[in-house]
């Protein structure tokens, strides 16, 4: 296919994304909703399932190289301190210790937008990097850490975002406690005018907690030099980002760095950035001329590799008696930790509901705590809890059913850019989700049921991006024996990427999935694909794979036409065999075509097409929750979650359900139990392990019903798929919170909804 280079423009929340990439001039006809697809949309077992459950799959933490060295990082025990001196002499004398890296001998590598160095003389949170020991074993490295003597000068600290905004607060950075661009403000229409036009004005405050990713596989890297070439095995969601970050940090060409990631035990956004540990491993490996491995432990996972920021959201709504929203405003404060990131959470309020008058003001605040990072739908989970709580309150105040209120303020246009969506089936999600949960059964008067165990039903709405886009490429190699290898520089986080790539190739070439092998996660052997975040992987990569497969199919038909001495229009392609329409005896196999062409391998490279301009690409959904609240103990038990979503074409129902189950269980943890707790007196984390930091278990998991109301979105790509990773978690906590209110009659406005909060709320009712 002929190609051209284009600029693709599309909106992702407040940003206009512009990318330059190569696309095919000849557009592939999108699969239609009535097309007979044999593999796509059918339940397909993971092609990498067997190697994972058998233990054969090699994760980054499993990588063992000859002559490999193990390294451990010494981290600050203080929330804010100046390092006066480091004495490593005793540690250096420990047998088996090979090298110790500190600020004294580390190069001045800028990090986090030049706000600190790889090792800084000032540590700004408990867990900040102080030194790294490389030794013959992990145990020796750990023992050596205890022998390093560090003289600290403790400095005043602040761990609360509200306190950090005060003029007399300790400064996390010398310029203050706000990053550049803060506060972030947005406005459309006239909020004050809208409030005056309202029959009712509602204002309330909602808070959410800091939660930690706690991935099954910890953050880890293995670095190995061969001359001037560096190979890094990294547990990452973004192999090319890691490659470029490491190359820039070491001031070497990106072509000198190879990053490999084959299998991975979860990321949830925490592994989208290159870690300091990866650069440290590379530096030490270059120094001692041996491979170096760093695997963070669970305590480090809870201190130093990111979190979802908290939020304090004050929301206001103007409402008419008929349910029309006349104004919405949002003011939020969130802690981003010690280094730059973002804590904004107003996007759901700006976009979900039709409202002409909207204003938001958001503060992302530095504190002496671990840095925030993207966490599965960053901002949306917090913002949806606040917004949807306000919507439920507004509906109740005017005596309207919460679902009816949402339908009253439904919109078919994006509210920020005033452009239509490529597709939106949220109304279908409302209808089917409500029927599945039995919405009619909810308490008409919240808390009105009798007995100690009270049941309630609630719901919440979701919006997210997930449309994907270019550049994303896939190379397909067809071998003489009819086997296929597809290569793409993407990542599988445990979400089924290997499988959907094989499905797409199998669908187009009509070959058994068993004949298709997949190579991903290698910057040297695979063509470029973007990071696996934002629910963009399938939406970006699947169309590129289809493009490569369609090119290969066309190439085979062209070759068959030449060999059979007929025109391409007279040929039929079926299950890897090409035959003449009116003479089935004249046929030829893939093996025969390649042999007669004297080729050992046929190669094509496909590209993801540009997104349509003038449209918004979003996913939508609604989740409905039924809960049971023990009013004696305060414990909340989630009985059932119904997740009804519009996510474009379903590539694989099996892995789609996996994604929804995982996201909903994470959302349940966010709603009821997960919380990073920091002692405000000492600045130290009290929940730095999986004993004190609670996550849901199988005993907490409810019945989950997933309903997909959408078909392929033909406007966005030839495949029509959107992402599901983020939509799965966004509305869960809000739906559970509303169900709790429906059960007990008192609204809990602070997450997580723990038994003590329930009991305190019930006590207030009795008073």
Which of residues 607, 629, 657 is at a domain's end?
607
Per-residue pLDDT of 448-486, as tens digits, reads 988 999 999 999 999 999 999 999 999 999 998 899 999
Q: Is 23 helix (H, G, I), strand (E, B) or coil?
A: strand
Give 396-416 pLDDT, tens digit per residue: 999 999 999 999 999 999 999
Complete edge-to-edge strand list for the sheet that includes strand 571-574 = 571-574, 577-580, 583-589
In the prediction, which pLDDT does 2 show? 63
552 and 591 in a single domain? The answer is yes
Angstrom distance (rounded) from CA 299 to CA 370: 12
Catalytic residue among 507, 626, 711, 726: 726
Nearest one of 615, 707, 650 to 423, comparing CA atoms = 615
Residue 194 lies in a domain: yes
User: What's the angle, vertex CA 304, arms to CA 300 and CA 308, rounded to 5?
Assistant: 120
Tokens 């063509």 belong to which residue?
A: 527
Position 77 in a domain: yes
Using CB atoms within 10 Å of the CB of residue 142, give its burial: 0 to 12 exposed, 13 to 18 middle, 19+ buried.
Answer: middle
Q: Give the Cα separation of 51 and 144 in Å (integer).
A: 37
The reply to whether 479 and 451 lie within a common domain is no
Q: Is the pLDDT of residue 115 over 70?
A: no
Ramachandran area for residue 574 (φ above 0: left; ψ -120 to 50: alpha; else beta): beta
Asked if residue 268 is part of any domain, the answer here is yes
- Confirm if 212 and 307 have CB atoms less than 8 A apart: yes
Residue 448 lies in a domain: yes
By CB atoms closer than 10 A (0-12, 13-18, 19+), residue 189 is: middle
Residues 6+ apart with CB under 8 A from 462: 380, 384, 619, 620, 621, 622, 623, 645, 727, 730, 731
**Contact between 607 and 23 (Cβ < 8 Å):** yes
**Is residue 148 included in any domain, yes or no?**
yes
DSSP state of 594: H
Q: Based on the fold, state whether residues 557 and 649 are members of the same structural domain.
A: no
Nearest to 96 by CA among 152, 150, 136: 136
Spatial distance between the Cα atoms of 64 and 222, rounded to a whole number of angstroms: 9
Same domain for 563 and 452, yes or no, is no
Farthest CA pair distance, the chain: 91
Neighbours of 144 (CB within 10 A): 25
458, two tokens? 């609630």
Q: What is the mean pLDDT of the chain?
A: 95
Q: Is 673 among the domain residues?
A: yes
- Residue in 485, 343, 347, 476 with CA at minimum distance from that of residue 416: 347
Angle of helix 732-744 versus helix 380-397 axis, rounded to 10: 30
The predicted model scores a pTM of 0.96
My answer on whether omega of the bond before 513 falls inside 30° of 0, hence cis, is: no
Tens of pLDDT, residues 599-618: 778 999 999 999 999 999 99
Q: Is the pLDDT of residue 689 over 70?
A: yes
Q: How far apart are CA 568 and CA 585, in angstroms?
A: 16
- For residue 268, what is the domain's CATH number? 3.90.1170.50
User: What pLDDT, on the 0 to 100 scale, is given for residue 391?
Assistant: 98
Residues whose CB falls within 8 Å of the CB of residue 89, separated by 6 or more in sequence, listed in order: none
Residue 472 and residue 460 in one domain: no
**pLDDT at residue 188, rounded to an integer:** 98
Q: For position 595, what pLDDT does the model report?
A: 86
Omega of the bond prior to 471 within 30 degrees of 0, cis?
yes
For the stretch 140-164, pLDDT in tens is 999 999 999 999 999 999 999 999 9
What is the rounded CA–CA span in Å between residue 173 and residue 176? 5
The answer to whether the beta carbons of residues 624 and 642 sit under 8 Å apart is yes
**CA–CA dist 637, 173 (Å, integer):** 43
Radius of gyration for the chain, computed over Cα atoms and rounded to the nearest angstrom: 28
Distance CA 295, CA 301 (A): 10
pLDDT at 111: 59
Task: Kindly state whether residue 302 falls inside one of the protein's structural domains.
Answer: no
Give the mean model confidence (pLDDT) for residues 550-571.
Answer: 94
Which residue(s) pair with 22 in the sheet?
5
Average pLDDT over every residue of 552-570: 94
**If DSSP codes are grouped into helix, strand and coil, which group holds residue 754?**
coil
pLDDT in tens, 310-351: 999 999 999 999 999 999 999 999 999 999 999 999 999 999
Angstrom distance (rounded) from CA 156 to CA 163: 13
Do 624 and 563 sit in the same domain of this protein?
no
For tokens 């499993």, the residue is 62
| Enclosing H/E stretch for 113 | none
Is the confidence at residue 681, as pLDDT, over 90? yes
Question: Do 432 and 536 belong to one domain?
Answer: no
Pair 443, 456: CB distance under 8 Å: yes
- 514 as an active site residue: the answer is no
Task: Provide the edge-to-edge strand list for the sheet that holds 703-708.
Answer: 453-464, 619-630, 636-646, 703-708
Q: Dihedral sign for Cα 440, 446, 450, 452, please.
A: positive
pLDDT at 117 over 90: no
How far is residue 190's CA from residue 360's CA, in Å, rounded to a whole number?
Answer: 12
Query: Domain limits at 563?
Result: 3-59+468-607
Q: Which of 582, 607, 632 is the last residue of a domain?
A: 607
pLDDT at residue 110 is higher than 70: no
Collect contacts of 49-58 with beta carbons under 8 A, ≥24 apart.
52/263, 57/262, 57/263, 58/262, 58/263
Cis before 275? omega within 30: no
Query: In the predicted model, what is the mean pLDDT of residues 9-16?
Result: 69
CA distance 710 to 466: 14
Q: What's the pLDDT score for residue 8?
A: 72
CA distances from 458 to 408, 494, 762 (A): 18, 30, 19
474 & 462 share domain: no
**Tokens matching residue 192:** 């004050």
Domain count, the chain: 4
The string of DSSP letters for 75-105 reads: E-SSSSEEEEEEE-HHHHTSTTEEEEEETTT
- Return the CATH number at 317: 3.30.365.10
Note whether 462 and 472 are same-domain residues. Answer: no
Q: Are residues 189 and 257 in the same domain?
A: no
Q: Is the pLDDT of residue 228 over 50?
A: yes
Q: Is residue 167 part of a domain?
A: no
The verdict on 551 and 588 lying in the same domain is: yes
What residues form DSSP beta bridges with 597? none
Tell me which of 362, 388, 410 is where a domain ends. Answer: 410
User: Same domain, yes or no, for 587 and 686?
Assistant: no
The answer, yes or no, to whether residue 113 has pLDDT greater than 50, is: no
């Amino acid at each position: 296919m002929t190609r051209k280079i284009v600029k693709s423009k599309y909106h992702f929340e407040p940003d206009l994304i512009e990318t330059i990439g190569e696309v095919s001039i000849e557009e592939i006809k999108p699969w239609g909703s009535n097309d007979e697809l044999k593999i796509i949309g059918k339940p397909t077992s993971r092609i990498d399932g067997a190697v994972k459950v058998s233990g054969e799959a090699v994760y980054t933490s499993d990588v063992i190289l000859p002559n490999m060295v193990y390294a451990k990082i010494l981290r600050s025990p203080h929330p804010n301190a100046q390092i006066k001196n480091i004495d490593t002499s005793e540690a250096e004398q420990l047998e088996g210790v090979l090298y110790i890296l500190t600020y004294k001998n580390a190069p001045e590598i800028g990090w986090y937008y030049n706000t600190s160095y790889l090792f800084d003389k000032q540590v700004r949170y408990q867990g900040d990097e102080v030194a790294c020991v490389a030794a013959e074993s992990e145990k020796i490295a750990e023992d050596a850490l205890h022998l390093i003597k560090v003289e600290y000068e403790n400095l005043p600290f602040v761990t609360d975002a509200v306190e950090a905004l005060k003029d007399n607060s300790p400064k996390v950075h010398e310029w203050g406690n706000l990053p550049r661009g803060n506060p972030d403000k947005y406005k459309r229409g006239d909020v004050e005018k809208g409030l005056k036009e309202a029959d009712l004005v509602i204002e309330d405050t909602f808070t959410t907690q800091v939660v930690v990713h706690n991935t099954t596989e910890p953050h880890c890297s293995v670095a190995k030099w061969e001359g001037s070439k560096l190979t890094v095995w990294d547990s990452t969601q973004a192999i090319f980002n890691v490659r470029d970050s490491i190359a820039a940090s070491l001031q070497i060409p990106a072509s000198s760095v190879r990053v490999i990631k084959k299998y991975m035990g979860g990321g949830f956004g925490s592994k989208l950035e290159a870690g300091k540990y990866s650069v440290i491993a590379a530096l030490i490996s270059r120094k001692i001329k041996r491979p170096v491995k760093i695997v963070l432990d669970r305590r480090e996972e809870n201190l130093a590799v990111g979190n979802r920021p908290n939020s304090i959201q004050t929301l206001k709504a103007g409402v008419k008696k008929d349910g029309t929203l006349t104004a919405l405003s949002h003011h939020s404060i969130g802690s981003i930790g010690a280094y730059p990131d973002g804590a904004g959470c107003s996007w759901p309020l700006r976009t979900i509901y039709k409202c002409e008058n909207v204003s938001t003001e958001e503060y992302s605040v530095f504190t002496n705590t671990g840095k925030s990072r993207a966490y599965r739908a960053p901002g949306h989970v917090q913002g949806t809890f606040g917004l949807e709580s306000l919507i439920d309150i507004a509906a109740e105040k005017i005596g309207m059913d919460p679902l009816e209120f949402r339908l009253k303020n439904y919109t078919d246009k994006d509210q920020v850019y005033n452009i239509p969506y490529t597709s939106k089936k949220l109304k279908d999600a409302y209808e089917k989700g409500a029927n599945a949960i039995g919405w009619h059964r909810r308490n008409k008067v919240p808390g009105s049921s009798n007995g100690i165990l009270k049941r309630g039903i609630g719901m919440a709405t979701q919006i997210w991006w997930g449309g994907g886009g270019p550049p994303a490429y896939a190379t397909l190699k067809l071998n003489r024996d009819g086997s296929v290898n597809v290569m793409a520089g993407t990542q599988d986080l445990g979400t089924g990427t290997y499988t959907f790539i094989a499905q797409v190739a199998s669908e187009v070439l009509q070959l058994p999935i068993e004949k298709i092998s997949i190579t991903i996660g290698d910057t040297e052997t695979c063509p470029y694909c973007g990071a696996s975040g934002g629910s963009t992987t399938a939406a970006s990569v699947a169309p590129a794979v289809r493009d490569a497969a369609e090119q290969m199919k066309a190439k085979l038909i062209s070759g068959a036409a030449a060999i059979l001495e007929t025109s391409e229009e007279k040929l039929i392609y079926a299950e890897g065999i090409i035959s003449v329409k009116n003479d089935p005896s004249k046929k030829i196999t893939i093996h025969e075509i390649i042999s007669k062409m004297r080729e050992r391998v046929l190669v094509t490279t496909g590209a993801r097409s540009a997104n349509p301009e003038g449209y918004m690409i979003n996913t939508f959904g609604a989740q409905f929750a039924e809960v049971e609240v023990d009013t004696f103990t305060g414990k909340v038990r989630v009985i059932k979650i119904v997740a009804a979503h519009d996510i474009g074409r379903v590539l694989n129902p099996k892995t789609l359900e996996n994604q929804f189950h995982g996201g909903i269980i994470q959302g349940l943890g966010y709603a009821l139990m997960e919380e990073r707790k920091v002692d405000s007196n000492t600045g130290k984390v009290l929940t730095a392990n999986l004993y004190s930091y609670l996550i849901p278990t199988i005993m907490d998991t409810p019945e989950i019903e997933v309903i997909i109301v959408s078909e392929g979105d033909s406007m966005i790509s030839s495949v029509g798929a959107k992402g599901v990773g983020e939509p799965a978690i966004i509305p869960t906590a809000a739906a559970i919170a509303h169900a709790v209110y429906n059960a007990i009659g008192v609204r809990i406005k602070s997450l997580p909804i723990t038994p003590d909060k329930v009991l305190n709320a019930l006590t207030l009712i009795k008073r």
